[in-house]
Amino acid sequence: MRIRLLTCLAAALALVASLVSPANAELYNPRQDWLRASTAGLFLHWGMFTAPRHTDCAAWEHDVTAGGWTPDYWIDEAKKLGASYVVLTTFHSRLGYARPWPSKIPGSCATQRDFLGELIAAGKAKGVRVMLYMTDDPQWHNETGHESLDSAAYSAYKGKPVDLTTRQGFGEFGYDLFDEVMDRYSDLAGFWIDNDNEYWEQHGLYEHIREKRPSMLLSNNNEDTPIMDTVSNEQKTGMTPSYDYPQAVWTPMPRLTEADYKLPTNGDWWYSGGDQAVDFRLSTGRYITNAGSSIKSLMAETAMLNGKFPPQQEAFNNFMASWTQPIKESLQGTEGGGYMYGGMQPGFWNDGAHGVITVKPGAKTQYVHVVTRPSTNLVRLRDNGYRVTGVSDLRTGKPMRFAQSGGYLSILDIQDWDTYDTVFKVDTAGQQYFYDKGTIKATASANGASAANLVDGSYLNYWDAGGQLPVSVTLDLGRKRSTAYLAVHERESSPTYARESFGRPEDSARIKDYRVYASDDGQNWRTVRTGALPSTRGVQFIDVGEVHARYLKLEVLNTWAGPQAKAFFHQLALDEIDVAYGYPDPRGEVPLEAESWRNGFEGKASPVWCEACSGTNEVTGLDRGAVVFRDVQAGGPSRLQLDTTGSGTLAVSVNGAAPITVTVPPTAPGVVTPTAVAVPLNAGANTIKVSGTAGLDRIAVAPLPPESYTPRTTLTVQPAGVQWVSPGQQSLRVTASLRLDVDDPIDQVSLAPVVPAGWTVQGDPVTASSLRLGQVLSGSWTVTAPAAQDVTIPVTASFQTLGRAKSVSKPVQVKQRPADRVFMREAEDSANDIGDAGVTSCAACSGGQKVRNIGGSAGAAVTFPDVTVAAAGQYRLYLDFTVNGDRSYFVSVNGGAPAEVKVSGAGNNTPYTTSVPVTLNAGANTIRIGNDRAGAPDLDRISLG
């Protein structure tokens, strides 16, 4: 991949528009059929600067041929990976802009040997298609002192002066190359385009391709451009678990989507010498989870000069050829399950398990891929109404014992775990107990006209709340009916968590806090369920117990997205809502069900009917008795999960010891809620006695998570960014919020800043006895220093999880302002408005961050409010920045006419400083820095002299 700023106007607008509205793209076309049927592709970065680096085109071509390059090797290696296409990435900004075909158009390296043509022919013979990578970006033309672009030669060819180092000139050059390739290679599958060039858009390149070669596919990187067939997503990282690539993807099905990632764990996208390792766990996990979300895995390998892959990459290819063979039917001809194609619920399952579902569209067979195995020998997942008739281990064919009840499938007694993906083939009789969509009418409090899309059975239509929250959806069942749960299909148009991608903030636009109401007449409503949904992909379920009503209302109070991600904040879109009146017929028994005949019942404790419970029974009367679980096997101290109904407390006694009190959170009648506690079990058999005021469905025992485990939280602290202060006593207002992001409660929560000796804090720590999924603890304090000094003030949240003390922290950095500055502020400071720009890391920058993606539109600017000076007059405004090439800022003070500031530099990680005179008012001023017409440099900070 090339490294660049996405700063042109079209790119910025296309990305923002794609995040908040449908792409209006051509979702289905016969030219896409082959890619829809694909699981994977091979991304080949290979060119003049492949090690050993060449600067002479003829010498590079000679050495490639002399080294024994052959197209069949690449095609065969692709087939080992299950790849049905290859993207040849040679006309690349960081690889010398080489063209691996005998081009008649001068301007950059072109070979005499037709490497591209040979590859296309070899692929066609073996059923592998070839796409050609095309870059839009000339900025790296002289990256290391060698000029890769020949403007003079191209100008002579065109009969007019053209500067290939400019975006317009390079765009014209690229346009000609597209035409040449289309004329030469009718069997080329299409183009993989690394972002748009303004010249291409202005001159209708993509429309021209559609007219000239309607069968060729168009793919674009990191943008949802409507005319493109495919949305590609480059090197997403930071997920939990790390392999779950789809968590970072924001394009809903059925849009064709790729995940583009490196197989070598380290190093460049291209071969730069050495034999880089391949992380088998990460790479296989990505492969499987992408398949489980109908995302194509475009895997980048680093071919050497002669085309061969380094030994560790070859070894991975050989491994994949054998490892995927027994599970091929679950990966080929399948779609992601839990989405528009049906299937059970993917994601986080029991006891640390995580995986995805693949389904055969139109068939009743689906596949459960356990990528992270649980700490126990069973897998338990939501069945989405499918009645299961049989389960088998796909690799071995071994039939598996299973149980089903209360909306869950449990696969039991699993002994043969695959290291990377244990796959179970699940045969079903289809979905049961869902009301016919034709009998339900939907209305909404916002954008009500489109609410009918929620029950039309089509995922090509959806309901958008139009930026309004809270918002509600009302479902009219036609008459008074029973309801057990709602299956909510949220539109997969955002990542699942807060992140930055190419410097732009992203966040989850999924439901967080909700309420469900019921009514017999549509006028008088009663609350039947309150809670929070996790920010995860796939169908989500809201159990309501047993409700008898004609009308149901789902009120969404908020979503997970924060205000830092403007494209996602207050956005909500839903594809479908299904209403279920029951669960598939129960079968089998899950270990440690409360009503099991193996248990002992004391006093008034006895089993009663509970449709949503495991085994369709729970034990009540525990306030006047107890249930005793005998022969509970464990390996030592364990995590005990209690699935309960009602509310109150439970007393848990282990092996006759003093009882441990467990608080059961309140919930609706007939709704099962899990609560976990650490218990001192012995290795071997144990006895657990449970009494109390709640109902008990089942218990589950698993090893405690590792000591390093900390439930995922989001800690937001302001001010963010280095705070530059003047001499003397200083006070800062600090605010913080802690949010729990997983359904794993934390207890004894405390949040406060921790100041150095000599400092004072006004305000006590804020505390909560517990936090559950989505709940927030917030506080505000004033911290005061005796004198200006360079310090870091951590704002720390401490809490207990399963009896272990944990903490998370974020710093507020305070530094003394230099003596020759009267004001200084970081560009990434939370006091600023960065609009459509974004914050990114920069090790060489002040505070370790900078603002990128400035310019190209009026919205992509940084506005500094409250720039305060003591006296009116002229000051010198210093701009600390990074830039590669020649660019301009436009600086406006207090809404005045913008002044252009031209800058130049080499390398986006090298800080520079420039200055411009500005006239300021006494007191607060506002300074805006941007470039409405073109990309501007990245901005580190500003200061006043």
Q: pLDDT exceeding 90 applies to what percent of the chain? A: 86
In the predicted model, what is the mean pLDDT of residues 581-609? 96
pLDDT for the residue 11: 37
- Residue 875 domain-assigned (yes or no): yes
Boundary of a domain, candidates 431, 455, 483: 431
DSSP code per residue over 685-750: EEEEEEEESSEEEEEEEEEPPPTT----EEEEEES-S-EEE-SS-EEEEEEEEEEE-SSS-EEEEE
Q: Please tell me what DSSP assigns to residue 681.
A: P
Q: Is pLDDT larger for residue 490 or for residue 500?
A: 490
Closest CA to 167 of 55, 13, 326, 5: 5
User: How many other CB atoms are there within 10 angstroms of residue 542's CB atom?
Assistant: 20
Q: How confident is the model at residue 19 (pLDDT cuts 50, 70, 90)?
A: very low
8 A C-beta contact, residue 733 and residue 717 = no
Same domain, residue pair 770 and 894: no
If you average pLDDT over residues 485-498, what whole number do you get? Answer: 96
Q: Is the pLDDT of residue 9 over 50?
A: no
Residues 310, 389: one domain? no
CA distance 751 to 754: 10
What CATH number does residue 797 fall under?
2.60.40.10
Q: Which of 829, 827, 832 is nearest to 851 (CA)?
A: 827
Eight-state DSSP code of residue 307: S
Task: Evaluate whether residue 788 is within a structural domain.
Answer: yes
In-domain check, residue 13: no
Residues 515 and 660 in one domain: no
d(CA 573, CA 449): 14
Query: Does residue 594 form part of some domain?
Result: no
In sequence order, what are the residues at sequence separation of 6 or more whose Cβ sits closer than 8 angstroms to the Cβ of residue 450? 444, 461, 462, 463, 464
Segment 201-225, tens digit of pLDDT: 999 999 999 999 999 999 988 888 8
Which pLDDT tens digit goes with each residue over 730-777? 889 999 999 999 988 999 999 999 998 889 999 999 999 999 999 999
The reply to whether 3 falls in a domain is: no
CATH number, domain with residue 144:
3.20.20.80
Could you read off the pLDDT of 814-844 as tens digits, one per residue? 999 998 999 999 999 989 999 888 888 898 9
Residue 328 lies in a domain: no
* Contact status, residue 785 vs residue 808, Cβ threshold 8 Å: no
Contacts of 712 (CB under 8 A, 6+ apart): 240, 740, 741, 742
User: What pLDDT sits at residue 85?
Assistant: 98
Name the domain count of the chain: 6
Q: What is the mean pLDDT of the chain?
A: 94
Q: What is the pLDDT of residue 639?
A: 96
**Residue-number span of the structural domain to which 131 is assigned:** 29-323
Question: Residue 18 — pLDDT band, cuts 50, 70, 90?
Answer: very low
Written as six digits, the tokens of 6 are 């996405």
Question: What CATH number does residue 630 fall under?
Answer: 2.60.120.260
What is the pLDDT at residue 934?
Answer: 84
Structure confidence by residue, pLDDT tens digits, 397-426: 999 999 999 999 999 999 999 999 999 999
The Cα-based distances of 779 to 12, 715, 798, 831 in angstroms read 36, 12, 14, 18
Read off the pTM: 0.92
Q: Are residues 785 and 827 in the same domain?
A: no
Residues 232 and 113 in one domain: yes
Q: Percent of the chain, pLDDT > 70?
A: 98
Report if residue 10 sits inside a domain: no
3-state secondary structure of 132: strand
